Structure 1
Amino acid sequence: MPQEKPDLRNLREPVRFKRALTLLLMTLILPGSAQIVAGSRKAGRWAWRVVAGLIAVVVFLIVLGLIWRSGTINFLARPNTLRLVQILLILLAVGWAALFVDAYRISQPLMLERNHRLITSILDGALIFVVVGALIYASVIVNTQRDFVASVFGSGTKSKADKGRYNVLLMGGDSGADRVGTRPDSMTVASVDANTGRTVLIGLPRNLAKVPFPAGTAMAKQFPDGFKWKDCGAQCLLNAVYTYAVGHKSLFPGDPNPGETATTQAIEAVTGLKINYYVLIDLAGFRDLLNAVGGITLDIGKRVPIGGESTPIKGYIEPGKNVHLDGYHALWFARSRAESSDYDRMARQKCVMAAMLNQLSPSVVLTKFQAIASASKEVVKTSIPASELGTFTDLALDAKKLPVSSFSAVPPLIHTSDPDFALIRAKVAEAIAKSESLDKDGSGGDGKTSNTPRSTSATHAPSSTTTKKPTHHSTEKPTSSPTTPAAGVDDVASICKA
């Protein structure tokens, strides 16, 4: 039978006022309950079904996330899923607003005295504004996430872990006004254990000469003996591979990213690793990204110039413990070469990477997501497909719990002008093996008992390689800076605390 409309004329005015407020608060706490009690029970039941369905979906996703975190993130990060969530949030906002309006109607505000009617109207409007505003804002955040995923992550081919590891090439692109095109200013391979997230950072100097390419590739045919001086002059170094490929697109028919492709191939040949994906970050925009996350905190062992080289030194980043750096200063800390060497800079860049990994908590990402996403769209380009976003988010969360180890192909072990690539590949394999052994022997889950991998000096290399001297082309500058990366396997934290 249809529900009879209650007669409020026999109720005292204070009771009618309390009833009106109660109906609004019931709609806030449990949408549809006001209709069940005093309005259309059919509408109330439908509202309850919607609420129950949403709660069931949320509980399911929470349980699924606990069981299969990466898969859940992959599903939720898909643009189509995000679009559906955005639409549902907007519909929920409209439906909830309608329930508030109906709750106000069934409270019969015209039967209230003027002041009580005014209070009820203001409360109803405020609740609609807060609830609907929150849901619309949530839909805006979801849309930002969808736009971010669609802009940064593509729908490219998923690459399987190689020998249980994901190898991601991280490139810092320097495309300033004084440069012709983009040229990677830094190149680091993050080799991540696909099960534990334990990470090894492999640093490759930008001035590495004679780099080879995998057999059968266009660059190998063009440079069968490696990227040598005789073929392209003094600029024929690792960081120039990108520029050369972009300038010779005919070698890469149908490839929209020849620079990234050629650089990835060179890194594979140098390290002996299969590179699953690349991430190219524009260093100038990196400042905005760091500002978006609130900067980073580092231990700084020696003062680092701001400026220098082709510009005057404007100041210094002074040494100290737990020094907080905003985007501007963190970028100079990572890029500065004045009064130091490329190898000092490589070490500092690893410190910045490790700091971002350790200090970027989920709460920071959530509270500052819009700023992060806006900055990231401008500075990040990657071959990681959107379908793998959850996998790498999952690995990043695991990696935060473990120390990061490192190998840098730098002097005195590696002479950048005349590199021993077999030795580099052997040292890369050694670094990875030492990292994996920390999990296999059960002593290094937190990196505290089995100690971090020992530094390997040049004396551990075969005698045929340790006696090499730089040729007349060498631009290497020995340095005694404590931040200089050892030519072996080290714990990144120990480098950054030096």
Structure 2
Amino acid sequence: MAGDATQSYGRPTTPSKDRGLPSALGWTILSTAVPGLAHLRAGRRGLGFFLLTCFLLLVAGIAALAWWALAGDGLLELRRIALEEPQLVLGAGIALLVGALVWVGIIVHSFLVIRPRRLRWPGAALSVVVVAALCVGVAVPAGAAASYAYAQYELVNSLFGDPEDAEFAWGGSPNPWGEQERVNVLLLGGDAGSNRYGVRPDTTIVASIDLRTGNTVLLQIPRNLENVRFPPGSPLAEQFPYGFDQIFNEIYQFVADNPQTASTEARAADDPAAATLKEVVGYLLDLEIDYYAMVDMQGFVELIDAMGGVRITIEEPIVYGRYNEGLLEAGTRTLTGEEAMWYSRARTYSDDYTRMGRQGCVIQAVVEQAEPADLLLRFQELASVARSRVATDVPRNHVDDLLGLSETVRGGEMTTVQFTPPQIEPWAADWLKIRLMTHTALEESGATEAASDTGAEPAEQAEPSREPSAPAEPETGTEPEPAASPSSAGRQQGDGPGELGALCP
């Protein structure tokens, strides 16, 4: 009897009796799913019960977490944690890797304690293959999940700024922006490239989003706008009292080359030139710009490719390229990143204003076609592009709220206002009309934007328009461009906003 007890509760180096290989492999597979079973079968009851208890506690914890996540706002809270506390995500990834290594060790040890005493080489080879396959089946998913966690950690830390002191508490209000009615995001498309000096935003769009309805107005500023006025009292206004002596898209690089021309607030930002553009555009439109996001041409190409392309209807063939060597055929199809870039930038046989209309169509198509499930599957690629190609001043603790807002935007209406001929002449802009068109569009979108905090009155901005001969001539010698046909894709008709759903084919 004593011998039996020792055999049952002791720690023999080999199983008490010679089991067949199929039985050993079967118990190893079962122990992979439920750790401890092979040890119990082999007589290692102490270790077996310990492993089984740990496994059941882990399952209970996962079940409780799943119930919490699915029963209420748990999934939203987990998303918030992932965006605002990247170190916790990284810690979870590391814990997952450690857990996977422990699990692999349990699989190997399970086979060792249950294996037959005599194992010839064909059986040994089969055992190695089966055990290795089980280990890989556990390690690969865990490694992939840990890789996602690290990508999330890197993305949040490198792209988004440090958290700001929030003006609101999570879950405390249906409107996380407090009393604001709209959120205004400055979208910049830079032309940076290996064969170009500096950055000149050829695309400047303010996306003004109604927080209640998700209706979005795209306020599109032409790159060749001249004699741009600066906020009163700013260093740029003192240097250029009659307006900037270059075209609008040169402002960014001018400030980057001359940082002393940025305001005190802008100089404190990570990118003083981009912060200055927020101030300038906000003054121009009489809006408060909340955030900016900038992507260069190659980044745009890579982002569209990472999304799997964007489906666009092209009404007429579009010629593109330095030597007109490219052609986008008419028709409806999914454009690659390179094709989408040329669709947005090409102006051969057209002009800046035609491509501005197409840019609005691309934005609308991306918003409509970016399915969250697809983006999640492509997360690694999207995160890699965003880290290296996108710049923004969105603070980390606002990202989750913007993601939630993006879901509202998909259900809203998107309209466009373009400050281009015949509504606005870039070489002799009516500054008051620009502000009037802006606020009219916002009112029609469903809410009135509160006055900006700049302290400037629209009438002061409008003074130069009453005396168009007063500003100095721009040094660039820009010639007026012909107005695009109102029937061009994405082009508004008249002074009022145009609905992109109707303007884009």
Does the pair score TM above 0.5? yes
Q: Measure the CA separation in 1 of the matches of 2:247 and 2:117.
A: 82
Q: Is 1:434 matched with 2:440?
A: no
Name segments (4+ residues, structure 1) moved above 4 Å.
Answer: 5-11, 32-38, 111-118, 471-474
After superposition, where does 1:369-408 map in structure 2 within 5 Å?
A: 369-408=379-418
Q: Is 1:289 matched with 2:303?
A: yes
1:106 corresponds to which residue?
113
Q: Measure the CA separation in 1 of the matches of 2:367 and 2:96.
A: 32
- 1:416–1:476: 8 Å Cα contact kept in structure 2? no
- 1:36–1:44: 8 Å Cα contact kept in structure 2? no
Q: Is 1:136 matched with 2:150?
A: no
- 1:184–1:239: 8 Å Cα contact kept in structure 2? yes
- 2:21–2:115: 8 Å Cα contact kept in structure 1? no
Match of 1:489 among 486, 492, 497: 497
- 1:72–1:390: 8 Å Cα contact kept in structure 2? no
- 1:156–1:383: 8 Å Cα contact kept in structure 2? no
Q: Is 1:205 matched with 2:222?
A: yes
Report how far residue 35 of structure 1 moved: 4.5
2:317 corresponds to which residue?
303
Match of 1:181 among 179, 198, 205: 198
After superposition, where does 1:254-273 map in structure 2 within 5 Å?
A: 254-255=267-268, 256-273=270-287
Q: Measure the CA separation in 1 of the matches of 2:107 and 2:17.
A: 25
Report how far residue 170 of structure 1 moved: 0.3
- 1:287–1:330: 8 Å Cα contact kept in structure 2? yes
- Per-residue CA shift, 1:298-319, capped at 9, x if unaligned? 0112221121xxx210021111
Q: Measure the CA separation in 2 of the matches of 1:98 and 1:289.
A: 40
- Per-residue CA shift, 1:476-496, capped at 9, x if unaligned? 312225223334312212222
- Per-residue CA shift, 1:325-364, capped at 9, x if unaligned? 1111111111111111111111111111122222222222
- Per-residue CA shift, 1:79-110, capped at 9, x if unaligned? 21221121111112112112212221232333
- 1:159–1:276: 8 Å Cα contact kept in structure 2? no
Q: Is 1:163 matched with 2:167?
A: no
Report how far residue 195 of structure 1 moved: 4.2
Q: Measure the CA separation in 1 of the matches of 2:115 and 2:127.
A: 10
Match of 1:327 among 308, 333, 337: 337
Q: Measure the CA separation in 1 of the matches of 2:225 and 2:281.
A: 11
- 1:280–1:380: 8 Å Cα contact kept in structure 2? yes
Q: Measure the CA separation in 2 of the matches of 1:226 and 1:219.
A: 9
Q: Give the % identical residues.
A: 27
Q: Measure the CA separation in 2 of the matches of 1:400 and 1:31.
A: 46
- 1:153–1:386: 8 Å Cα contact kept in structure 2? yes
After superposition, where does 1:319-468 map in structure 2 within 5 Å?
A: 319-321=330-332, 323-436=333-446
Q: Measure the CA separation in 1 of the matches of 2:331 and 2:130.
A: 53
- Per-residue CA shift, 1:3-36, capped at 9, x if unaligned? 636996668x5xx545423433333333445456
Match of 2:133 among 122, 126, 129: 126
Amino acid at match of 2:330: P
- Per-residue CA shift, 1:152-187, capped at 9, x if unaligned? 222164686472221110000112345331111100
Q: SS of 2:424's equivalent?
A: coil
Match of 1:97 among 89, 101, 104: 104
- 1:408–1:485: 8 Å Cα contact kept in structure 2? yes
Q: SS of 2:324's equivalent?
A: strand
1:447 corresponds to which residue?
none
- Per-residue CA shift, 1:272-323, capped at 9, x if unaligned? 211111001011332122222221110112221121xxx21002111112x2
1:479 corresponds to which residue?
484
- Per-residue CA shift, 1:48-101, capped at 9, x if unaligned? 22333234334434445x4672x4322112321221121111112112112212
- Per-residue CA shift, 1:112-159, capped at 9, x if unaligned? 676555434422210101211221122122212211222222216468
Structure 1 residues 9 and 259, CA gap change in structure 2 (3 angstroms): closer
- What is the Cα-based RMSD across aligned positions, in Å? 3.0
Q: Measure the CA separation in 2 of the matches of 1:101 and 1:75.
A: 35
- Per-residue CA shift, 1:421-475, capped at 9, x if unaligned? 222222222222222279xxxxxxxxxxxxxxxxxxxxxxxxxx99x99x99761
- 1:242–1:259: 8 Å Cα contact kept in structure 2? yes
- Per-residue CA shift, 1:348-382, capped at 9, x if unaligned? 11111122222222222222222222222221011
2:171 corresponds to which residue?
none
Report how far residue 225 of structure 1 moved: 4.0
Q: SS of 1:110's equivalent?
A: coil
Q: Is 1:20 matched with 2:31?
A: no
Q: Measure the CA separation in 1 of the matches of 2:360 and 2:389.
A: 19
Q: Is 1:315 matched with 2:326?
A: yes
1:152 corresponds to which residue?
159
Number of residue equivalences: 453
- 1:148–1:377: 8 Å Cα contact kept in structure 2? yes
Q: SS of 1:136's equivalent?
A: helix
TM-score normalised to the size of structure 1? 0.82
Structure 1 residues 99 and 68, CA gap change in structure 2 (3 angstroms): closer
Q: Measure the CA separation in 2 of the matches of 1:35 and 1:394.
A: 48
- 2:189–2:295: 8 Å Cα contact kept in structure 1? yes
2:34 corresponds to which residue?
30
Q: Measure the CA separation in 1 of the matches of 2:211 and 2:363.
A: 19
- 2:36–2:50: 8 Å Cα contact kept in structure 1? no
Report how far residue 194 of structure 1 moved: 2.9
Q: Measure the CA separation in 2 of the matches of 1:202 and 1:376.
A: 24
Name structure 1 gaps, 5 residues minimum: 439-464
Report how far residue 389 of structure 1 moved: 2.1
- 1:79–1:150: 8 Å Cα contact kept in structure 2? yes
Structure 1 residues 437 and 272, CA gap change in structure 2 (3 angstroms): closer
Amino acid at match of 1:296: V
Q: Measure the CA separation in 2 of the matches of 1:245 and 1:496.
A: 35
Report how far residue 395 of structure 1 moved: 1.7
Name structure 2 gaps, 5 residues minimum: 168-176, 449-464
- 2:218–2:414: 8 Å Cα contact kept in structure 1? yes
TM-score normalised to the size of structure 2? 0.81
- 1:343–1:485: 8 Å Cα contact kept in structure 2? no
Structure 1 residues 31 and 348, CA gap change in structure 2 (3 angstroms): farther
- 1:295–1:327: 8 Å Cα contact kept in structure 2? yes
Q: Measure the CA separation in 2 of the matches of 1:425 and 1:261.
A: 21
